[in-house]
Amino acid sequence: MEKRYSQMTEYELTQEIRQIHEQARKAEQMGRINELAVLERKNLMARAYLLDPNDFKPDEVYEIEQDPGTFFKISYMNGIFAWGTKLNGENKEDALPISMLKRTEARK
């Protein structure tokens, strides 16, 4: 039985990320787009467990790494997920793994 990411050590997570990266590279070469998308999502989740959720604060704004120029304002944290809204006018609550967020100099 596989371990959950939340139960893995930092070393195990790093090894898992390497393995996912290799699988994703192969899936991309073989043209398996759906598999690639799943592996990219797994990579984001594993990377989130290497970060400290306490470093992400409500009411702060972060850029979404996979969507440059799109910003996300955190309302609250729940584990490795930041809940909040994208600052694109939709004002719809969304949850993103913290590995998708990056602090920007202009928005600190």
25-51, pLDDT tens digit by residue? 999 999 999 999 999 999 999 999 999
Q: What's residue 73's pLDDT?
A: 95
The answer to whether residue 71 scores a pLDDT higher than 50 is yes
The answer to whether residue 108 scores a pLDDT higher than 50 is no
The answer to whether residue 89 scores a pLDDT higher than 80 is no
77-88, pLDDT tens digit by residue? 999 999 999 987
List of residues 6+ apart from 13 with CB closer than 8 A: 5, 46, 47, 49, 50
d(CA 64, CA 94): 12
